[in-house]
Amino acid sequence: MIVYNDILETIGNTPIVKVNKLPEEGKRKNIFVKLECFNPGRSVKDRIALNIIDQAEKENLLSNRSVIVESSSGNTGIGLSMVSRVRDYPNVIVIDQNCPAEKIKILKALGATIVMLTTDKKDSEDLTERRIEFVNEVKKTMENIFIPNQYENRNAPIAHYLNTGEEIVRFMEETGIRFDAIFLSVGTGGTITGVSKKIKEYDSSIKIIGVEPEGSTLFGGEKGSYLQQGPGNYFKPKNLVYDHIDQGIKVSDQDAFNMCRKFALKEGVLVGGSSGGVLYTAVEMSRQFEGNILCILPDGGEKYLDSIYSDEWLRNNGITLDKENENPIQILNIDGVKDYSVLVNCIKEEVFGNEHSRAI
């Protein structure tokens, strides 16, 4: 049994799991997922948070008086807050009004100082650039500030080149399972840039497919609003290098969120919106590939219980939930009830259907 010196040593080496029930008939392929929710901060961003701080310490960019300040939609902020607590740095995370409530609660629990930027404009408008502008202004007026800058810091893609990409290569070598294509969510560019470079060095025939929300402009198109948190941007981050990306695909909130719900009900795994977008795209494109497909799923779904996994939130945001993905709560009033058989039959009918429930 391994004894870890601190929680940061558990980052990485996330599992690759075969998907068994998700692909529909006619689209059935060997689809695998790399579950980044197994990182201690529950997302792929733990990897870059650790590597950026590690390298900053080696380059003497941090002192015991340094304050770490970063713009984040949530997951990078959580990763940096975790690293900051272990390494004894105060940290400030600049979020905006689109940040899910669960992520804010986690940031608070981890001791980050939280600054939320708000606007009267449409909630789903991406505010990343405004957050970055604010952080840069902070740097002008405060001393001993270190800004990780996940959008430009070269140590973000390097983390994925040395670790995430290497783990995939090692998996293929050790299992003999080769991937024809790898699907990745694209936002800051760190994951796809680092992974694609490593994979193409190993086998240039493996296709790298980037996935972004409809409304994001990383692969061109018109700027628009979207609800997926984490993927996408209205500007091209310096860490996004297209050299090893074979194709960029856009996915709607409708399709991404329905896939999240479907994946939970069929495979028993809660994932976030970016993961839903990657999964949806992989299933839709699966017939283009003869062999195995890998999806890198950036985070888990526990941070989206009040949004993606809330029927009311979906309705309020114009998302129609497919009937097969609904799972309403069965509410039974027991006031004055002596015989529970009628109420039990309600459960039988809901779970097994009218015909089968009579035989239960």
What are the backbone angles phi and psi of residue 202, rounded to the nearest 5°?
A: -75, -45
What totals of helices (H) and strands (E) does the chain contain, helices first?
11, 10
**322 DSSP assignment:** P
**CA distance linking residue 228 with residue 214, whole number of Å:** 9
**In 3D, which of 26, 14, 37 has the Cα closest to residue 264?**
37
Active site residue 103: no
Q: Please, are residues 17 and 278 in contact by the beta-carbon 8 Å criterion?
A: no
Indicate left, alpha or beta for 144 from its phi (over 0: left) and psi (-120 to 50: alpha): left
Task: From the candidates 29, 45, 207, 250, give the one annotated as an active-site residue.
Answer: 45
Q: Can you read off the two tokens belonging to residue 340?
A: 């529970």
Handedness of CA 146, 151, 153, 157 (dihedral sign): positive
**CA distance linking residue 339 with residue 353, whole number of Å:** 22
Q: Which residues participate in catalysis according to the annotation?
A: 45
